[in-house]
Structure 1
């Protein structure tokens, strides 16, 4: 039997682990996207330090959540009141165990609570199939930013 995933709102005390999860997920889990190019990795990961994360945790327009699996923090995600999912990162060794899905569903619940009817995001190649399984659809042409392909996607959220 697979262990259940628990999600909760992240707190300032989680900033260090959030930084580590993002860093490792980018470096290891997203190698298909950055092709181990040091400049691309540095550009992607540069704003995920504790000093960058702490203001996000104190911004009421943002919602950061963390996923716990077997009482271990394994993933983190963030959305804004504009309806944009900024990111969803899971430690690579915990891929395909429900953490990413739980994180996104929790973000979507928060977006619905904010009165939003649609969620949008820019996926990487690594994440595209994951987001498609969650009901997201490509909604515009792929573009490149900081050496990475970004795939614009959106999803209608259910009415309350």
Structure 2
């Protein structure tokens, strides 16, 4: 990483920044693998009901610049499911996602979680594969009436 990144627990006040990162990642980073219609359905404008609660329901880690600006986040439920894994497009390719992921994996092991799961976007598929995950199934999920392709993936931690 060319710039120091800090990892800290997510807080309720991070919800707006994480939502902005989510939308930027979907609309910019995922533009290579999803159509505009798909991206608009995945990350629509306006409020997302339950966003803060979903973000902070389990373990939420936020990557920040040295001066505190959030640039990425990752969440893991108590069952080992990684729900969110997003990095702002300005910070992709700098090791932010890997740093977040390694911290999440360590927390999972400390909690005795034996298997991690996720539903990986086409954009994140290579990331999870590089980190030892296995594709279980290609699937189609409906978001705001639009079908999106993703992959159910898992990683055994034992």
* Other-structure match for 1:45: 43
Report how far residue 129 of structure 1 moved.
0.9
Root mean square deviation, CA, Å: 2.2
Aligned length: 153
- Contact kept, 8 Å, 1:11 with 1:57, in 2: the verdict is no
- Contact kept, 8 Å, 1:86 with 1:121, in 2: the verdict is yes
Report how far residue 126 of structure 1 moved.
0.9
Q: CA 1:112–1:145 in structure 2 vs 1: closer, same or farther (change >3 Å)?
A: same
Q: Which moved more, 1:22-31 or 1:2-11?
A: 2-11
- Contact kept, 8 Å, 2:137 with 2:153, in 1: the verdict is no
Q: CA 1:134–1:69 in structure 2 vs 1: closer, same or farther (change >3 Å)?
A: farther
Selected match of 2:100 from 85, 103, 106? 103
Unmatched 5+ stretches in structure 1: none
Q: Which has the higher helix share?
A: 1
Report how far residue 55 of structure 1 moved.
1.7
**TM superposition score normalised by structure 2:** 0.85
* Other-structure match for 2:16: 16
* Other-structure match for 1:142: 138
* Other-structure match for 1:54: 52
What is the rounded CA distance, in whole Å, between the counterparts of 1:106 and 1:9 in structure 2?
11
- Contact kept, 8 Å, 1:19 with 1:49, in 2: the verdict is no
- Contact kept, 8 Å, 1:22 with 1:48, in 2: the verdict is no
Matched, 1:89 2:96: no
Q: CA 1:46–1:109 in structure 2 vs 1: closer, same or farther (change >3 Å)?
A: farther
- Contact kept, 8 Å, 1:142 with 1:152, in 2: the verdict is yes
- Contact kept, 8 Å, 1:16 with 1:50, in 2: the verdict is no
Unmatched 5+ stretches in structure 2: none
What is the rounded CA distance, in whole Å, between the counterparts of 1:58 and 1:123 in structure 2?
20
